[in-house]
Amino acid sequence: MAEVILDKAGKTYPGGVRAVEGFDLDIADGEFVVLVGPSGCGKSTTLRMIAGLEEITEGTISIGGRVVNDVHARDRDIAMVFQNYALYPHMTVERNLSFGLERRRNHRSRLRSLFSTTHRRARRAETESIAARVRDSARMLGITDLLDRLPRALSGGQRQRVALGRALVRAPQVFLFDEPLSNLDAKLRVEMRTELRVLHSRLNATMVYVTHDQEEAMTLGDRLVVMDQGVVQQIDAPTRIYSNPVNRFVAGFVGTPAMNFVEGTLDASGRLNALEGSITLDPQRFGGHVGPVVLGVRPGALRPCEPGRGWGFRLEAIEHLGDRVDLVLDRGGRQWISRVEWSPDFVEGDTLHFEPRVGEGVHLFEASESGRTLAST
């Protein structure tokens, strides 16, 4: 395995379109890093830059201590798993797993004398090694009984395991994943997420993973890289990003359901005037910030309260999640979400009162375009 370093790496397309700008990241040997962000934020372009499928236009990329800016993709010792599996339809699972290694073996064979005893012995040893690696990978991924099947006879989850196995047999320095689970149904996605984490633990492999699904990112990554419009917004452990987002974009993107936001004005006593009403925040936690602000409240921190406190909302809809519910609320045409335990007292159309519970996911942000975090609890 190997360390991957991006030093001010960037990509500008003809016409001046900046896809990735000033990307700095040190990925430790054996680390699982997830690039996450909305469509078009530059995460897949960054992954392809690491792979050598996109030429970088600024900065450097190093893999295992070697600068690879001018190294061809096939010579970077990486393996990439794509969204569409890219299996050979006419080959069995076993051949799909072994094909890449066989091509490398045949290339080396052409460089040797075809008639030498040493060549024949080396070729036989390589063939046995390839077969052993295929068996080991198939056993690790639970697809040993599928080796004789063609891809069309496999389910989506089985095809994804074969695609993983094809990368696994190569034993590369770095594994790269470009939204590999997006074609699977919800249940299979959860199962494959678990399998990927187990696989990472077994291999202690360096893995870089791209997804737009922030729930997937939170469950997989040792660290997340949150991107927007080609620029890195925050790099940190998933729990720290969730609890301490650096700005309003990160706060709104990471977390399901998304954070509720409201513009308001905060005075020195902690009173926030917003939504044609006011609430009082703890001045000990939010003191010192006076003037226009944006309040951010996680759905789990927006809790029911007695009338006369908090804000009154009309309950628009109830989304059942087993022992919890998401309450879709409306005040003045602005939609809010509260995630709470189920109660028979919740009736659509009723007016209910809610307030943010400081310490459970309440944040203040600058009202400016940058939306920098002022305080988090």
Mean pLDDT of the 83-88 span: 85
Reported pTM: 0.88
Q: Return d(Cα 178, Cα 163) in angstroms, integer.
A: 12
β pairing state of 271-274 and 260-266: antiparallel
Mean pLDDT of the 172-179 span: 94
- Reported as a single tens digit per residue, the pLDDT across 287-312 is 677 899 999 999 999 999 998 888 99
- Return the axis-axis angle of helices 117-141 and 156-168, rounded to nearest 10°: 140
Q: Give percent above pLDDT 90 in the chain.
A: 59
- Reported as a single tens digit per residue, the pLDDT across 4-18 is 999 999 999 999 999
**pLDDT value at position 230?**
96
Range with the poorest average pLDDT among 9-18, 180-189, 238-247 = 180-189
Annotate 231-255 with b (16+ C-beta within 10 A) or e (fewer): bbbbbbebeebbeebbbbbbbbbbb
To the nearest 10°, the Cα dihedral for 307, 308, 310, 313?
50
Residue 110 φ/ψ, nearest 5 degrees:
-65, -20
pLDDT over 90 (residue 175): yes
Domain boundaries defined on the chain: 4-243, 257-376
Residue 103 φ/ψ, nearest 5 degrees:
-65, -40
Shortest CA distance to 298 belongs to which of 325, 259, 333? Answer: 259
Q: Which class is domain 4-243?
A: alpha beta
- Reported as a single tens digit per residue, the pLDDT across 97-117 is 998 888 775 555 554 555 555
What letter would DSSP give residue 81?
E
User: How many other C-beta atoms can be found within 10 angstroms of the C-beta atom of residue 343?
Assistant: 10
**pLDDT value at position 236?**
97
Band of residue 156 on the pLDDT scale cut at 50, 70, 90: confident
For residue 90, what are its two tokens?
């006419």
Shortest CA distance to 162 belongs to which of 223, 234, 99? Answer: 99
Shortest CA distance to 298 belongs to which of 246, 240, 347, 254? Answer: 254
Q: Return all residues near 30 (Cβ < 8 A) that are at least 6 apart.
A: 1, 204, 205, 206
The secondary element (H helix, E strand) that includes residue 337 is strand 334-341
- Which SS3 state, helix, strand or coil, does residue 290 take? coil
